[in-house]
Structures are given as structure tokens and as C-alpha cells.
Structure 1
Amino acid sequence: MNRETRAAKLALLARHCGQGRGARFARRASGQPPVSFGDLAKLPDWLDAPEAQRARIAAAAGLLRLRRAIDTELSGPRLAALAAAVGEPLFDAVCEAEVPEIVSAEKLPSPERVLAVGTQLLEAALPLALQDQFPGARDDAAARGLLARAHAIAESLA
């Protein structure tokens, strides 16, 4: 990580996880994990992105996670409803992408559930140090990898 990238990540971390003495004491007192330099590399670029961009990344992540279910779905109306919910270009881009290893074999859920899965992945990928702001943060490396792909797909359409 070069100097500029590290400085930007430090600023991002400071915005989302206070670093003053009081903040560190509060983290210890509440049993939260301390912030480490390793957390810098785990901070996603989309953390400070506008809500619309984060929603698009979450939608792409949910679609990627459920990609096997999308590929096996026979109902045209169900696929059309999902495509309408996330946008045709994003749906098509995800369906053209290589199927990731971390995919679910479940039946295709409703469009709302696909978006909820993506939102859960957004939080799961975040470092544990951000649990106070994002309760679903789990430092999940697999989710981080899936989100990196989703972010690339969403950005390619912007």
C-alpha cells in the first residue's frame, strides 16, 4: 500500500472509528476489539460512497452470492422481477461474470431478499473494529472477495 493510499485509508478509518484516547478507552470498556493497522487493508473503497452506489454494490453482491440459483431458475417472470429490482444492466453484467466460488445453492428468493443478502455481505466484509457502527461486521474474507468483484462490476457500469 503506497503512502497516499495508506493516508486515505487512515482518514477513512478515523471517520468511521474514532482514534482518540477517549474512543480507545470506550472501545476497551465495551469489549470491542481494538483498531489495528491490519484493518486498513480491509477497509473497502465504498465505505464512504453515496448510498445509491452502496446499494448498487450490495445488489451486485447479492446477485453474485445467489448466482447458481439465478442460473437454474426457469421462471421468466421471476428473473424479470429480479432484473427490474436491481436494474437490467447490473443484472446482465452479473449474469455474464464468472460464477464465484462462494455461491449459494438455494432456490432463488424474492428480489427484496436478494438485496438483503447483498446488504448483509457489505457488513460482513468489514473489519471487527467497525462493529459499533456496523453491527454485522464479521471480518469475513470470503465476503470481502465477493464484494470486490461486485464493486468492480458496479463501477464498470457507472
Structure 2
Amino acid sequence: MADAQTPDQPAGYGAAVNREARTAKLALLARHCGQGRGARFARRASGLPAVGFGDLAKLPDWLDAPEAQRARIAAAAGLLRHRRAIDAELSGPRLAALAAAVGEPLFDAVCEAEVPEMVGAEKLPPPERMLAAGTQLLEAALPVALQDRFPGARDDAVARDLLVRAQAIAESLA
């Protein structure tokens, strides 16, 4: 079975989700989405979708990461999201404030990374809004089945792709 990405199935779905990875993802899902009879009933009663096998492949590795690691990934995601605006910014003090807010090594690593295609050319927001955008991306990438625990979860494939890149950058600095 090929590890192809289709609109309904993310890369990593099927054969690439081997037994060990699947077991780890099931344990991760159990920690973040109650699956007892009462939890399943509550999900149906509140109109939330049932957790499906496809949701396993969409669970990010950072879901169980320490808060500091998640914050670093969120900061990298926020920077990547606004990468074109960073490249277009001429104000040294604004860039310095942004680098100070996320840490110079992370800022430099994101600026050296390839610009994601899905990134739009917006105006550079203040550092606190950029960090908030990264945190919103963390939740947006999660499967809708986790919406009871993470209200911002909306199974956003663009956010998920951006976070994969952000996680790789953050982990390269660890």
C-alpha cells in the first residue's frame, strides 16, 4: 500500500502508520479524548463527530510535548505564517523586537527556512499577535474529534503542514 496523500487521507495514512506508531497514537488519543461509553455518549449528545481511524494519522507528536516545546513550535508556526511580511519588513527595531520575543536562534532558523507556499503577504503584526497566531495554528491543525478538549480544532490541513515545518525547525534547535 502506497503512502500517498489524498484529500480524505493525510500522508502517513495506511501502511505508513505501522503497529508501533498506531499504538502510540491510540495512547495519545486516549489521553486527550475520552473514549469510554460515557464519553462516546456525551460526544454524540453534543453533536461532536466520533473519533475515526483517520484521526490517528492527524494527531501531532507535539500534543504530549512539554509546554515549553509547544510554545517554541507555536512561535515557529507564527513566524512561518507571517514569513513574507518578515522578509518585507524594513524596520530593524520591529524585527529585533520580534526576535527578542521568540528568541534569536528560532527567529534566524525560521528566516533561513524556505518560505511556505501557503503563506500570504500580510502586514507584520506585533510580536504578541504573532505568538497568538502560532497558538491558534496549534489548535486549528487538530482533528475536529478533539474539539471538546481543544475548541479551536478544525482539521485545517494548511495549519497542519505549517506545524510540521515549525516542529522540524524547533526540534533542530533543541
State yes or no: 1:36 paired with 2:79. Answer: no
Structure 1, unmatched stretches of 5+, are none
Residue 130 of structure 1 aligns with which residue? 146
Residue 170 of structure 2 aligns with which residue? 154
Residue deviations 1:120-148, cap 9 Å, x none?
Answer: 10000000000011100000011100000
1:1-150 alignment to 2 at 5 Å?
A: 1-150=17-166
AA aligned to 1:58 is A
Instruction: Give me the TM-score of the superposition, normalised by structure 2.
Output: 0.90
Structure 2, unmatched stretches of 5+, are 1-16
Q: Tell me how large the CA RMSD over aligned residues is.
A: 0.5
Q: How far does residue 101 in structure 1 lie from its aligned partner after superposition?
A: 1.1
Measure the CA separation in 1 of the matches of 2:82 and 2:101: 15
Instruction: Give me the TM-score of the superposition, normalised by structure 1.
Output: 0.99
Measure the CA separation in 1 of the matches of 2:30 and 2:81: 30
Q: How far does residue 104 in structure 1 lie from its aligned partner after superposition?
A: 2.6
Measure the CA separation in 1 of the matches of 2:93 and 2:52: 47
AA aligned to 2:169 is I
AA aligned to 2:121 is A
Which one has more relative contact order, counting CA pairs under 8 Å at least 6 apart? Answer: 1
Measure the CA separation in 1 of the matches of 2:145 and 2:164: 20
Q: Percent identity?
A: 88
